[in-house]
Structure 1
Amino acid sequence: MKKNIFVIALFVLAGVLYSCTDLSESVRDTALGQEVLEQPDAPEQTLAPVYAGMQNLMASHNWLNNLQSISSYEQITPFRGGTDWFDGGRFIEMHEHTWAPSHVSVIDVWGGTTQGVARAAIAERNIQDLGGAGVLEAEARGLKAVYNYWLLDLFNVAFDKKGEDIGTDNLSTVYRDLEAVDYIISEIDQIESQLPTVNEVGETRFTQAAAIGLKARVLLNKAIYANRYADPSSQTFETADMQSVIDYTTQIINSGNYSLETENYFNMFGLENEGHPELIFAFEQNESTGGYGSMAWFQSSRNRHRTPANPGAVGSDGSAMTQEFYDIWEGFRDDPRFFTRNIPDGGSVPDEEFRWNRGVQIGQQYGIEFEEGSQSQFKRDENGDLLIVALTDFARSGQPMIYTREIGITTDSGHMAGARSLKWDLDPTTVNRGDSNINMPWLRLGEVYLMRAEAYARTGNWGEALNDINELRAARGARQLQANELDSLDDVEREWYFEMYHEHWTRTIQIRFGNWEDTWRDKTSTDPIRRVFPIPQEAIDLAQSEPGYLEQNPGY
C-alpha cells in the first residue's frame, strides 16, 4: 500500500506549484516542470510541494479542524435549522465519536498527511540528485517529520520513506507506538544542526527551533503514544522525558530569537502575523496561491460583514463553541484572549477603524449593515462614517443576531445557537470572501511556555510552572494567578485552552490530560478506541498484497 501512496504522489507532484530564488525567501507555488529542475535554485524549489500540502490540512474547516476540534469539547457544528451544514453527517459523527473508516474527513486527513510524507521524500531525493545543499535535504526530512507527527498523533502510525527509495520497490518502514516516537526523535536529531535559523529563512520555513519544538511536543505526549488505550491513571510521564521537554523549551525561550506578543493577542491570527516574532513555524498563506480563511468564515454569520471594502466578505453560520467550553472561562472572562473589543455597540466609526471584535462572541452582535435595498452600500451617518448597528440574521432566520450559550445537535441547533470564536481574522484585503493572506501558526512561543509549565508541573515544580504561566498571562494582559489557582493538572489544562483554543490541538490536549472519555452534551461515547482514528478502509485494502504491512487500528 505504501508503494502505491508514493507512486501516486509522483504524479501529484507534477501539478504542484513553486516560486523562489533565495534561501531567505518564501517557498511558493507555481507549475513545476523540467525547465525548473534545470535551474540553479531547483533543489530549493522542490520543497514547494511539501509546504503546499499543509494548505488543506491547516486552513480548511473540515480537515484537521474537524478531527482535532469538532471531535473535542471545543467546537460543535449542528445541522443548522435543518437546512445548513449537515455535509453528509461528517461534523455530527465527529462530535458524537461515531466516525468509521469511511469518514470523509478521516480519509482527507490521512491522504493529506501520507501525501506530505511522500512529497518530502521526493524532495529529499531530488535535492540529492541535483546536488543541493545539505541544509535543504535536512529541511525536507524535517517536513517529513512534521507530517509523520500528525500521522502518529491521529492514526498511531509513522512511515519511514527514504529519498533513495523513491522509484524503487522498497517499502517504507511502518512504525507505531514508541517505535514511532523514537523514529521521529531520531530523524530530528540527525538533521537539527544542519537546519537554518529563523533569522536566516523566516518563520515559514522549518528551522532549528521548529525541530527542537517538535521534539518537545513529541516527548510531552510520549506517555500517551506509548500505550494509546491504557487507563489514564496508569500512563506515566517519565521524569527524564519531562526534563527533556524543559531543556528543549528553555533552549527556544533563551535563544533570543522569539518574543511573546504583548500588544494584542489576536495579532498572531490576522494580517499582522507576517514575520511575527512569536511564530516559530507557520504555514505561509497567499491569496495568489489559494490561501483561504476558513477558520474565521466557518464560525461567523452570513450577515456579519468583515470590511466595507469587500461586501462579500461574510461568514457561513457553521461551527460554534460548545457550551461546556464556553463555561471554562467562568471567572476568567476579563482575559483579553477571551474577548477584545475593536468597535462599540452602536454609534459610528470611520472605514479605516472598522474591524471585528475578536475572541468569543455571545449575545447581541453589532457591526455594519447594508442600506435597505442595497447589496453593496453600507449604512452611514451624516459624516459618512459607518453606522454600527445591532445585527440581524437576514440570510436565514430573520432573527436578531443574538448568539446563545446553549447549542446542541438535536435541539438548540438554530442559526444563532452557540458562542462563536472569532480568534482568526477574515482577511479584509482579498476580493473573494474565502481568500486569505493570513499565515497559520503550527508552533509558537506561547505553546513553548505552556509545554515547559506542564513539564514542571508533572515533575512537581509548581513554582516554576506558575512562573511560566504568569509570564505568558502577563504578555497577554491577563491577571496574574495566585499559587492556589495553579496547583493541579486541571488548572494547567485550563491554561492550555485559554491560550490555544481554535488552533487544532484541543483533542490532543484532552487525551493527554485524561478526559477524552468524559461526556458532554451530545457526546456520550466513552470508548477509548476513539483516542485514535481508523486508517481509511481504502488504504487497508490497497495493502492486502503485503499481508501484515498496514493493519487497522483496534476497534475498527
Structure 2
Amino acid sequence: MKQLFKITCLSTMLIAFSCTDLEDELEDSFTEDQQFSNNGVSVGGGDGGGGALLAPFARLRAGTAGNTGFFATNTVTGDDVAVTQKGGDWFDGGIWIQLHRHTYGSTHDRVNELWNDAYAGIGECNTSLSNSLNANQTAQVRALRAYFYWRLMDGFGRVKIITSPGADAPQSSRQEVFDFIESELLDVLGISAVTASMNLSGSDLNTEISNYRINQYAALGILAKLYLNAEVYTGTPRWEEAQWAAEYVLDNSPYQLCADGCSVPNQAKRPSVASDPETLEGYAAVFAPNNENNPEIIWAAEYDQTGAGGMNFNMMTLHGPSQLTWGLDVQPWNGFVVLEEFYNSFEDDDLRKEANFLQGPQTDFNGDPLLDYAADDGDLVIDYKPNINELEPNAWRDGGVRMKKFSFALFQRQDMNNDYPIVRLGDVHLIRAEAMARAQADWNMALPDVNALRDRAGLDPLASLTADSFLAERGKEMFQESSRRIDLIRFGKYEDTWWEKTDSDPNKRIFPIPQAQIDASNGSLTQNPGY
C-alpha cells in the first residue's frame, strides 16, 4: 500500500525551499495532493501568535539548544555524546563527567537549570493566561504550559502543579502530573480522549502552519510523546493512544518528509572550496540555518543570532581554530564530542552520517589545512578522528567527531539561526511505528515507517526489526534532538555500560530535585529516592 505525497511550494516557501514531488512508501492506502504554505501567517507567529504570546514562547529557547538545561541533561547522559575534559578546559567542577557517568547529585548546575527553565516558562504562561487572551491564544498557552510540565515530569517525576501567578502548591505525584498534562492537552484539542476516529472540530487550536506556535498537530505531537512514555511515567502503557495521536498527524496534516528535491542554499558554502555543496537537501535541510519554512517541522523553538539567541552548538562542539573555517566572530569552545561506538554504528552510505557529523582533517576558509599550534600529539593538522583517548583529565583536543546536524553558516556569531524542532514529522513516524509495534508485540509492524526514513537517508529497506534494531534506527534519526536519555530509559538501556560509564543505579532515571529548591520550599518539596 502506498501513500503519495506531493509538495506544492507557495508564497514564503518559494523563498527558502526548492521542492519537487516526494514519494514515500507507507502503510496507508490513499493518494492525495496537499499544499503546504503559511496561509498568510508569518512564520514568526502572527496572532494566532503575536505579541500576547511572545513572552511565554520566548522562554522555550532557554536550555533547549545550548549547553544548559534540557539539552545538556538529556544528551550528555546518553550513549552518543560526551563532554571531554581537555586539561583545564571543560572540567567545570566535574559536572560533565557526572552527567556522562550518571553520578549527578542534587546540587548539579545543569539539573537545577532544567528545573528553573521549565518553571520560568510555566510562570510566563501563567502570567499570560491571567491577561485577556482570545480562545486560540489561551489554548496555545495552555498547551505550551503542558509541554513545560512534560519536561518537569519526565526529568523529576514529582513536582508542583502551579497554575496562577505567585501561587504555590503541594508536590504532586508523577501520576498526578501526567494526568494534568493529558487533561490540558485533551481540553485544548476539544476531545475527551484520543481515539482512532477523533474529531477535532471543537478545538480552540487551529490548523494554520506557523512553526513557532502550537496548532492541533503540535498539540497531538506532545500528546504522542506523553503516551509513548506513559508506562515509564505511570506504570500503565498507552501504546494505542500514542499510535492514534501520531497517525492523526500523518493522515490529516500538510507536513511532509523533507527528502529529494526539498533543499535550501548551503549557508556554509566557502567560495574557494569546491567540495562544499551548493545546497543542503533532504534530512540535512531540516536542520539548516535557513530551516524556518521546512515542510517537516511542525513546531520549533525559534532561534536567531540577532534577536533570539540561545543556540550555540557551533561554540559547544568545534575546536577553537575552526573559527577560521567559517569566519566565526569568536573562537569555539571545543567541548562536545560524539562517542566512537555511536558514530561507527552508522552505515557509510547513510546520508545522515554526513549530515550529523564533522569528521576527518579540517580546512580553513580557503580550503587549506587547519592547524592547532597547541596540538597534544605532534600533528598540527586538526583531524576529528572517531577515537577518543579518555573522558578525563587529558582528552585529545581533536579527539572525537563533532556534532554537525544543526549545520553552520559563514560569518555567524556565537548564536546560531537554526530553528530547533520540538515536533517534526520524522519523529511522528517513529512514534507511530514504535507504538504500533509494542501494541501488537511485533516489531516488524514498524518497518513501513522506519523504511520510509531509511529511504530518505539513501539506505536499502530492512526486512525485519527487533527492539534493539529499532532503537538503533531511532538513535540515528533523532541524534542531537534531546531524546536519547528518554529513549534509553523507555527501552530499559539506561543502566547499561558504555564508554567510560558503568553506573547502573535505576534511581538515576529521574533527576534529583535540586537541593536549592528543597531548601527554599519550607518543607513542601521532598527528594527523589536514591539521592
Do the aligned partners of 1:156 and 1:532 also contact (CA within 8 Å) in 2?
yes
* Aligned partner letter, 1:472: L
SS for the counterpart of 2:423 is: strand
Deviation at 1:437, TM superposition (A): 1.9
CA distance in 2, matches of 1:173, 1:477: 51
Quick one: which of 323, 327, 330 aligns to 2:340? Answer: 323
What are the within-5 Å matches in structure 2 for residues 344-363 of structure 1?
358-362=355-359
Do the aligned partners of 1:149 and 1:158 also contact (CA within 8 Å) in 2?
no
What are the within-5 Å matches in structure 2 for residues 365-376 of structure 1?
365-369=361-365
Deviation at 1:201, TM superposition (A): 4.9
Quick one: which of 497, 502, 508 aligns to 2:486? Answer: 508
CA distance in 1, matches of 2:223, 2:110: 27
- Evaluate the alpha carbon distance shift between residue 197 and residue 414 of structure 1 in structure 2; reply closer, same or farther with a 3 A threshold: same
CA distance in 2, matches of 1:463, 1:78: 38
CA distance in 1, matches of 2:159, 2:250: 29
Quick one: which of 423, 430, 433 aligns to 1:450? Answer: 430
Q: Which protein has the larger Cα radius of gyration, Structure 1 or Structure 2?
A: 1
- Evaluate the alpha carbon distance shift between residue 456 and residue 301 of structure 1 in structure 2; reply closer, same or farther with a 3 A threshold: same
- Evaluate the alpha carbon distance shift between residue 177 and residue 292 of structure 1 in structure 2; reply closer, same or farther with a 3 A threshold: closer
* Aligned partner letter, 1:474: D
CA distance in 2, matches of 1:175, 1:534: 15
Deviation at 1:23, TM superposition (A): 6.9
Quick one: which of 213, 217, 221 aligns to 2:221? Answer: 213
Which residue does the alignment assign to 1:175? 172
Quick one: which of 407, 412, 424 aligns to 2:406? Answer: 424
Deviation at 1:463, TM superposition (A): 4.1
What are the within-5 Å matches in structure 2 for residues 88-107 of structure 1?
88-107=93-112
Which residue does the alignment assign to 2:68? 62
Quick one: which of 110, 113, 116 aligns to 1:108? Answer: 113
CA distance in 2, matches of 1:63, 1:146: 15
CA distance in 1, matches of 2:340, 2:102: 18
Which residue does the alignment assign to 1:403? 384
CA distance in 2, matches of 1:393, 1:307: 13
Do the aligned partners of 1:261 and 1:476 also contact (CA within 8 Å) in 2?
no
Which residue does the alignment assign to 1:185? 182
Quick one: which of 250, 255, 259 aligns to 1:253? Answer: 250
Deviation at 1:516, TM superposition (A): 0.5
* Identical columns (%): 29
Does residue 92 of structure 2 align to residue 87 of structure 1?
A: yes
Quick one: which of 58, 68, 78 aligns to 2:84? Answer: 78
* Aligned partner letter, 1:70: V
Do the aligned partners of 2:350 and 2:459 also contact (CA within 8 Å) in 1?
yes
Normalised to the residue count of structure 2, the TM-score between the two structures is 0.80
- Evaluate the alpha carbon distance shift between residue 180 and residue 125 of structure 1 in structure 2; reply closer, same or farther with a 3 A threshold: same
SS for the counterpart of 2:421 is: strand
Does residue 460 of structure 2 align to residue 479 of structure 1?
A: yes
The gaps in structure 2 that reach 5 residues or longer are 1-39, 191-202, 260-280
SS for the counterpart of 1:46 is: helix
CA distance in 1, matches of 2:125, 2:324: 37
What are the within-5 Å matches in structure 2 for residues 369-384 of structure 1?
369=365
Which residue does the alignment assign to 1:543? 521
Coordinate RMSD, CA, aligned: 2.4
Does residue 419 of structure 2 align to residue 439 of structure 1?
A: yes
SS for the counterpart of 2:356 is: strand
Do the aligned partners of 1:44 and 1:136 also contact (CA within 8 Å) in 2?
no
What are the within-5 Å matches in structure 2 for residues 257-296 of structure 1?
257-262=254-259, 263-296=281-314
CA distance in 2, matches of 1:72, 1:409: 14
SS for the counterpart of 2:63 is: helix
Does residue 471 of structure 2 align to residue 466 of structure 1?
A: no
Q: How many corresponding residue pairs? A: 455
CA distance in 2, matches of 1:275, 1:116: 25
Quick one: which of 506, 510, 529 aligns to 2:507? Answer: 529
Does residue 394 of structure 2 align to residue 389 of structure 1?
A: no
- Evaluate the alpha carbon distance shift between residue 411 and residue 441 of structure 1 in structure 2; reply closer, same or farther with a 3 A threshold: same
Deviation at 1:497, TM superposition (A): 0.5
Deviations 1:125-161 (A, max 9, x none): 11xxx3x211111111111011000001111135432
More helix by percentage: 1
CA distance in 2, matches of 1:326, 1:281: 28
